[in-house]
């Protein structure tokens, strides 16, 4: 209970549990007040009424239960603010200095903090191009906010201290043992965001995707509408907060000017034949100091489609696309026929190789068969000679005589075969006695 002296305004604090007898001239201030129980996720902002200084008291400083001193009062109960690994929060002090709480700088564990006294979370208003239907907004529809658009979150107004009241003993409604617990002041109504803007208090450090729809002109004055997406990311929050209050708008409009400059250097025909190269060159040229000075990084600018704004040019473009489609179709058909012919030729070559292998195998088999037949015939003849000579071994002991006898035997068999062959044909047969030793010398046909 806080007791206030009406004469000199001094205060003293009595802490229970105990019975209290007010002194002469003292009155209870707000009756019996409830202590604030603090944990790791709760803190209180305490203001010294003599100096006006505010301090933040956490559970580690009050052992879990906080009771203000005589000259102190609780201004606000604040909850712990959690920052994930992909988030960052900017806090502005009353002096204007800014502190960045980034979850990416805590080794992937995130971070948390209590909002210090006389400080506020910086609120920014960013352009929103996450909706493809809003990607074609013109500068007149979206007004870029300058770096002065950084607006701190309004601080809650300190709760006014009620005037001391005297509790009558005879009052049946007076309760000297209870009083309302200090509660956080209700936040003020938030201001609506400007048209085309979204309020940002937590900055997402992950890769972001913004859609665009730009109108550009080629070097030969053909008006085109390009549609696609921009992939970008915030790398340095401190640089970003010092240079711009709308990084998404800066990326969108900078990419727009880059694409306009890239397309204006080529003709319409060149753009149709190599639009991917043109957009890629524009994306590579976007890695300049404009983005690094703002702590940003543009990964790529993707082109998903383009169309002609003027109807006559669109008709010409359709004809070009149709001719290109027909050319590709004919090319694919010709390539298909070529593949079929090539496959057939490959199959024929394989078939001929297999046929060659077959002929080689057959020739080898015939050669082996002839060798076997010759070997068998030679073996039969050798066996015949061996048997003839062996059987005459007892009759004729002289091997030369046996050889001459075998030779005569073979000549007689040869004569019989010749005679048999001549007798079955149309040739003339002349028989002479053996002792005449007569031979017929027939002239060669060329000598006739």
Summarised one tens digit per residue, pLDDT across range 388-442 is 777 777 777 777 877 788 788 788 888 887 777 777 766 666 666 666 666 656 6
Q: Tell me if 199 is assigned to some domain.
A: no
Mean pLDDT in residue range 199-223 = 91
Per-residue pLDDT, 138: 52
Q: Tell me if 279 is assigned to some domain.
A: yes
Residue-range definition of the domain harbouring residue 298:
211-314
**DSSP tag of 132:** G
Q: Tell me which residue has tokens 């809650």.
A: 156
Q: 55-59, 63-67, 173-177, 371-375: lowest mean pLDDT where? A: 173-177
Q: Tell me if 346 is assigned to some domain.
A: no
User: Per the structure block, which two tokens stand in for 88?
Assistant: 């960052």
pLDDT-derived band at 140 (thresholds 50, 70, 90) equals very low
d(CA 138, CA 269): 27
Per-residue pLDDT, 150: 47
CATH of residue 299's domain is 3.30.479.30
> Helix 399-423 crosses helix 311-391 at what angle (to 10 degrees)?
120
Do the beta carbons of residue 123 and residue 201 sit within 8 Å? yes
Q: Tell me if 348 is assigned to some domain.
A: no
Q: Tell me if 333 is assigned to some domain.
A: no
- More confident of the two residues 79 and 386: 79
Mean pLDDT of the chain: 80
Burial label for 32, CB within 10 Å (0-12, 13-18, 19+), is: middle
Per-residue pLDDT, 312: 79
d(CA 254, CA 181): 53
- More confident of the two residues 171 and 121: 121
d(CA 178, CA 162): 16
d(CA 89, CA 200): 10
pLDDT-derived band at 164 (thresholds 50, 70, 90) equals very low
User: Per the structure block, which two tokens stand in for 231?
Assistant: 């992939």
Mean pLDDT in residue range 135-160 = 47
Query: For the chain, how many structural domains are there in total?
Result: 1
Per-residue pLDDT, 377: 83
pLDDT-derived band at 126 (thresholds 50, 70, 90) equals very high
Instruction: Count Cα atoms within 13 angstroms, Cβ side, for 319.
Output: 6
Residues shown for the chain: 448
φ, ψ of residue 95 to 5 degrees: the values are: -80, -10
Name the pTM for this structure. Answer: 0.59
Q: Tell me if 274 is assigned to some domain.
A: yes
**% of the chain with per-residue pLDDT over 70:** 80
User: Residue 410 in 3-state DSSP?
Assistant: helix
Q: Tell me if 262 is assigned to some domain.
A: yes
CA Rg value for the chain: 56
């Amino acid at each position: 209970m806080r007791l206030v002296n009406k004469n000199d305004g001094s205060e003293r604090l009595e802490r229970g549990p105990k019975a209290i007898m007010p002194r002469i001239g003292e009155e209870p201030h707000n009756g019996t007040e409830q202590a604030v129980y603090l944990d790791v996720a709760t803190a209180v902002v305490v203001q010294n009424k003599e100096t006006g200084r505010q301090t933040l008291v956490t559970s580690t400083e009050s052992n879990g239960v906080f009771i203000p001193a005589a000259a102190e009062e609780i201004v606000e109960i604040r909850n712990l603010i959690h920052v994930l690994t992909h988030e960052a929060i900017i806090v502005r002090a009353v002096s204007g200095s800014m502190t960045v709480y980034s979850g990416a700088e805590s080794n992937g564990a995130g971070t948390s903090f209590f909002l210090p006294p006389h400080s506020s979370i910086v609120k920014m208003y960013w352009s929103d191009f996450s909706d493809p239907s809003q990607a074609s907004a013109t500068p007149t529809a979206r007004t870029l906010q300058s770096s002065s658009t950084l607006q701190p979150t309004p601080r809650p107004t300190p709760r006014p201290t009620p005037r001391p009241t005297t509790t009558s003993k005879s009052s049946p409604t007076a309760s000297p043992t209870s009083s309302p617990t200090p509660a956080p002041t209700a936040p003020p109504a938030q201001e609506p965001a400007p048209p085309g803007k979204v309020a940002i208090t937590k900055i997402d450090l992950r890769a972001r995707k913004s859609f665009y729809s730009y109108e550009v002109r080629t070097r030969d004055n053909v008006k085109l509408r390009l549609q696609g997406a921009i992939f970008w990311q915030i790398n340095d929050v401190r640089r970003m907060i010092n240079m711009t209050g709308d990084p998404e708008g800066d990326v969108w409009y900078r990419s727009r000017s880059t694409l306009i400059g890239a397309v204006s250097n080529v003709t319409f025909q060149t753009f149709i034949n190599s639009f991917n190269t043109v957009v890629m060159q524009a994306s590579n040229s976007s890695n300049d100091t404009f983005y690094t000075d703002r702590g940003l990084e543009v990964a790529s600018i993707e082109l998903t489609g383009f169309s002609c704004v003027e109807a006559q040019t669109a008709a010409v473009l359709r004809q070009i696309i149709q001719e290109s489609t027909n050319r590709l179709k004919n090319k694919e058909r010709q390539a298909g026929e070529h593949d079929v012919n090539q496959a057939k030729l490959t199959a024929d070559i394989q078939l001929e190789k297999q046929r060659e292998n077959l002929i080689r195998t057959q020739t080898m088999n015939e050669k082996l068969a002839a060798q076997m037949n010759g070997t068998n015939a030679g073996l039969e003849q050798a066996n015949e000679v061996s048997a003839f000579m062996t059987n005459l071994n007892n009759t004729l002991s002289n091997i030369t005589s046996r050889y001459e006898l075998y030779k005569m035997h073979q000549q007689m068999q040869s004569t019989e075969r010749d005679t048999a062959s001549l007798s079955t044909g149309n040739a003339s047969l002349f028989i002479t006695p053996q002792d005449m030793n007569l031979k017929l010398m027939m002239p060669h046909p060329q000598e006739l």
